[in-house]
Amino acid sequence: MNNIYRIPRPKTFNLSLCLDCGQAFRWTNKDNRWQGVAYGKYIEIEQTEKEIIFYNCTEEDFKNIWANYFDLQCDYEKIVSSYNDEHLKLAVKEYDGIRILRQEPWEALCSFILSQNNNIPRIKGIIERLCEEFGDGETGKKTFPSAEKLSRLTVEDLAPLRAGFRAKYIIDAAQKVANGEIDFKRINESPIDFGREELQKIKGVGAKVAECTLLYGFHKIDAFPVDVWVKRIMAEMYPNGLPECTKGTEGIAQQYLFHWRRMQDR
């Protein structure tokens, strides 16, 4: 915990919202710090009035991993202020600072395979058990297990996760990624439709899981995942489809609307 790296708080950046708006599942808050692992590194992060403070983080880690993870080079203020639609303006006003994280593709794929017909607290539990069982490193700081490692396991090996019918989908995804049948590099370099087709070759990956993987794992911000909450939003507010102002950044609009709509029911 020696290295500390501080930056001024960027505009349109809210750490808690970024990490706890239903796009990433491994972050936990303790003593006003968010703790988590990504790209093989454990980190603790705190937001103060004027700063974001990264603990256990060298300048190199910040530049190579975390600046990218939080999409800091992207001007969200510009994007979000272009939303001239009334519902979106409300969502942005109330939850300003949500950003689309650049998660690892494999972690995003697994996470959203596990998300199907499931709820967020349970998804978090399954992923935590997955990492504790098969990840590397210390307890509580384990890495997300690689596709190569999971590809050598069986459905029975995953029983402790209590993932239910989703376990067999994880194994299939791991095998197809590990043996190169699904090529992350090509998906990354290609337009979104290629990724849509490729990812849906995996058992248990349909349109929605593919869309989430492309948005959160490949940062295709024109992806637009439609889950039960977004279905409600579309039915209640956008019977004729999304407003024009979201063109090209549908995924970002989706994240604001998703979180906003979910918070209304509590």
Partner DNA sequence: ACCCAGGGTAACT
Partner DNA sequence: AGTTACCATGGG
What the block records as the tokens of 41 is 């590194």
What the block records as the tokens of 233 is 């939003």
Q: How far is CA 212 from CA 14, 62, 243, in A?
A: 21, 25, 21
> For residues 177 and 147, is the Cβ–Cβ distance under 8 A?
yes
> Residue 138 Cβ, how far from DNA at the closest point, in Å?
25
3-state secondary structure of 38: strand
| CB nearer to DNA: pick between 65 and 163 | 163
Hey, what amino acid is at 31?
D
> Residue 56 Cβ, how far from DNA at the closest point, in Å?
27
| CB nearer to DNA: pick between 54 and 103 | 103
| CB nearer to DNA: pick between 6 and 203 | 203
> Residue 230 Cβ, how far from DNA at the closest point, in Å?
5
Query: What is the signed CA dihedral for 11, 246, 118, 131, rounded to 10 degrees?
Result: -40
| CB nearer to DNA: pick between 63 and 231 | 231
Q: Mutual orientation of helices 120-134 and 105-114 as an angle, nearest 10°?
A: 130
| CB nearer to DNA: pick between 165 and 189 | 165
> Residue 53 Cβ, how far from DNA at the closest point, in Å?
26
> Residue 63 Cβ, how far from DNA at the closest point, in Å?
27
Residues that bind DNA (CB under 7 A): 21-23, 112, 115-123, 159, 162-165, 200, 203-210, 212, 225-230, 254-255, 258, 262
**Helix or strand (DSSP H, E) at 241:** none
| CB nearer to DNA: pick between 7 and 17 | 17
> Residue 135 Cβ, how far from DNA at the closest point, in Å?
20
47: β partners: 52
28: β partners: 35
> For residues 208 and 227, is the Cβ–Cβ distance under 8 A?
yes
Hey, what amino acid is at 5?
Y
| CB nearer to DNA: pick between 131 and 210 | 210
Burial of residue 57, with CB atoms counted within 10 A of its CB: 0-12 exposed, 13-18 middle, 19 or more buried: buried
Number of continuous H segments (helices) and E segments (strands) in the chain: 14, 5
> Residue 50 Cβ, how far from DNA at the closest point, in Å?
28
